[in-house]
Amino acid sequence: MNRSYQLHPVSLGKTNIDYTTALNKQQHAAVTSAPGAALVIAGAGSGKTRTLTYRVSWLLEQGYAAEQILLLTFTNKAAREMLERVNALLPGRASNLWGGTFHSIGHRILRQHSEMLGYPKNFTIMDRNDQEDLLESVITRKALRGADKRFPKANVLAEIISLCSNTGETLHALLLRRYRYFLDIEEQLEDAMGGYDAAKKAANTMDFDDLLTKTGELFLTHPEVATRYQQQFRAILVDEYQDTNFLQAGLIDLLALQHKHLMVVGDDAQSIYSWRGANVSNILEFPKRYPLAQLFPIETNYRSVPQILELANASIACNPNQFPKELQAVRSPYITQPALVPLATNNEQASFIGQRLLELHEKGIPFSEMAILYRAHYHSMEIQMELTRRGVPFYITSGLRFFEQAHIKDVAAMMKFALNPNDEVAFKRLIQLFPGIGKKTAESLWKQTLEALGGVPQFKKLLSCKPPAKATKQWQQCVHTLVEITQDQATIMTPAVMIETILHAFYEEIMKEKFSNYDVRRDDLETLLNYSKQFSDTSEFLVQLTLLGESEETTENHTDQVCLSSIHQAKGLEWRVVFLVWLTEGMFPTARSLAEENALEEERRLFYVAVTRCKEELYLTYPELRLNANYGEAFQRPSRFLAELKTHLYERWDIYNQHFT
């Protein structure tokens, strides 16, 4: 005769947590909701982390064992912060909780079961550099990059492989959507991807994306393993759910299959990462996948003054596909409205920002409480130069400073060598862009170059040099371009014509193969071309680039420095004063987004994210005239995101003494 015996959770007594006092009404409703599927729409600045933290504490108090709770986040920092807060509320109670990033949880599961997939348990994880080294080995072994063969660099191929994994797209579909210039080598790319998978298996190693794809494969091929974790995790919580991709959403749904106790927290209005695989439909269609799901809006904003939120609410309301929400301010009204500031030119836009930053600083606002946000990194070029001239300290979160970026320095290197054939550093940087040329070969070619030129800058003579077979075509094209831009020193072209010639003659193809974000870098070079038009002397132009680069010092702790950031990098941050710049059609929203409704909606969400970074004082700026690389001066239409705003939402500033060009 069998007897059933039930174990009950150990009672740990009352705690001091007063959920009613600690949370607002909307947060409290979500935190104390009954088990089951739940979607928490947490607006900007509404206390999302607090809600998740108290939900975990609530579950522990209801008798859930820590190991029965899975908390998924996008960053290790977010996971640490939440677990630290839970431990502060319930000391020692969260020590066995499964909390971490998607990839760290995948790794934890694979360590237990990797042998089922043919991987010994001592498998290693490659970082991005290791991944690129292995891909380069595969490309070399398969001879996919020969003398006359165009093939992407390992970092670009790694990006393509990663996007296929995270979006669920086939290679063909991805190439059609994003890398059309590689469609003619699709078969070779497939060959490289297959060889890469085999090489990883042989080396008993996985890359970062494998931590999710292999976990999914494990669950599908060994359902008993999936069942084990489905039974274990009685409650699953997901942070920043609007940023999940195809692969992550699938794993979450699979793990929640048994208990269906899944709380996802996010804000569809802040879904801005489709370019790296995030799928906003995951959050928008959650109620369809979980018809019994409860919906909890959290709309009380603790960050911004009412005027900022009123403008943000009005803007995002123009998106048809969303969960309606209305952010409500806790703070009192501010002394001024957001400012709409049209400027005559992009140079005047930079001048206005530099002057206003100094004025605000003199009034007592620290530089560290001010930020300049932009849609694309190249939008910041004139602003960086202006702040440097005015001595305004700043740092950049969106990457290297403009003139320190690799593609800018590559083009500058060719210009320097054209002017000065004795510039060894510029020469070696230039030729190491070509396949098969490393430091040793570069040294050999430098000696050949010195001998061929004999101190006379007649670049046709370089055709007698002997580069490696792989680099012959690029070497010859480079020589012809040097001849063209210098006319063998008879007439030196202007810097603008030089840059345009270098770009179209050969560097554009190099960028496609070398960089995964080719289109962004091309925009940077168009901006550099625009800037160079104010110089007739190429030597003076290159001197200015060097001086600007030399003045670009960074401070690690960013003490009292203005932040320059792309909006994507600014998500989750906040400042008292925000300048949102280049608000013109084609710049923000981007020209590429204008033809597609989904892309345009994401651009509007990006505008919303930028506005809600601001606590008090917001400046919306745009130039009415832009020096265009292809068409000369071009008039700019204000962004539709400005046109959608009613005039009572902002104060228009009229700028006088518009003498800038």
Q: For residues 394 and 639, what is the distance between their CA atoms, to the nearest angstrom?
A: 27
Q: Which of 159, 207, 210, 240 is catalytic?
A: 240
Question: Tokens standing for 368?
Answer: 């560290």
Catalytic (active site) residue 234: no
Residue 112: active-site member: no
Question: Cα separation of 523 and 619, whole Å?
Answer: 25
Question: 342 preceded by cis ω (within 30°)?
Answer: no
322 is catalytic: no
- Residue 25 corresponds to which tokens in the numbers above? 């009404």
Catalytically annotated residue among 68, 131, 248, 270? 270
- Kindly tell me the burial class for residue 526, based on how many C-beta atoms sit within 10 Å of its own C-beta (0-12, 13-18, 19 or more): middle
Q: In 535-647, where does DSSP find H-type helix?
A: 538-550, 567-570, 597-611, 640-643
Q: Is 6 a catalytic residue?
A: no
Environment class of 502 (CB within 10 Å of its CB; exposed 0-12, middle 13-18, buried 19+) = buried
Which backbone phi and psi does 597 adopt, to 5 degrees?
Answer: -60, -45
356 a catalytic residue: no
Q: Where are the beta strands (DSSP E) in 219-366?
A: 235-238, 262-266, 294-298, 300-301, 328-329, 339-345
Q: Token digits for 580?
A: 């949102």
15, 32, 49, 441: the catalytic one is 49
Query: Residue 528, Cα to own-chain centre: how many angstroms?
Result: 22
Kindly provide the b/e burial profile for residues 21-38, where b requires at least 16 CB atoms within 10 angstroms of the residue's own CB.
eebbebbbbbbeeeeebb
Q: What are phi and psi of 271, to 5 degrees?
A: -85, 105
Cβ atoms of residues 369 and 574 within 8 Å: no
Q: Is the dihedral of CA 119, 124, 127, 129 positive or negative?
A: negative
Sign of the Cα pseudo-torsion (583, 584, 585, 588, in order): negative
Strand partners, 71: 99, 237
Instruction: Provide the pairing of β-strand 614-628 with 632-635.
Output: antiparallel
Six-digit token pair at 515? 């960089």
Distance CA 54, CA 59 (A): 9
Q: 152 with 193: CB under 8 angstroms?
A: no
Residues in CB range of 565: below 8 A, 6 or more apart:
371, 372, 373, 374, 396, 397, 398, 573
Identify the CA nearest to 507 among candidates 535, 545, 477, 467: 477
**Of 159, 209, 239, 524, catalytic:** 239
The owner of tokens 């998500």 is 571
Locate 572 and state its tokens: 């989750």
Q: In the numeric block, which tokens belong to residue 22? A: 């600690």
Q: Specify the DSSP element, H or E, that contains 255.
A: helix 246-255
Sheet holding 69-73, edge to edge: 98-101, 69-73, 235-238, 262-266, 38-42, 294-298
How far apart (Å, rounded) are the C-alpha atoms in residues 581 and 588? Answer: 9
Q: Which of 57, 62, 51 is nearest to 25 (CA)?
A: 51
The single residue of 356, 512, 613, 626 carrying the catalytic annotation is: 613
Which SS3 state, helix, strand or coil, does residue 346 take?
Answer: helix
Q: Does 191 qualify as catalytic in the annotation? A: no
Specify whether the CB–CB gap between 524 and 377 falls below 8 A: yes
Question: Would you name the residues annotated as active-site residues?
Answer: 48-49, 239-240, 270, 613
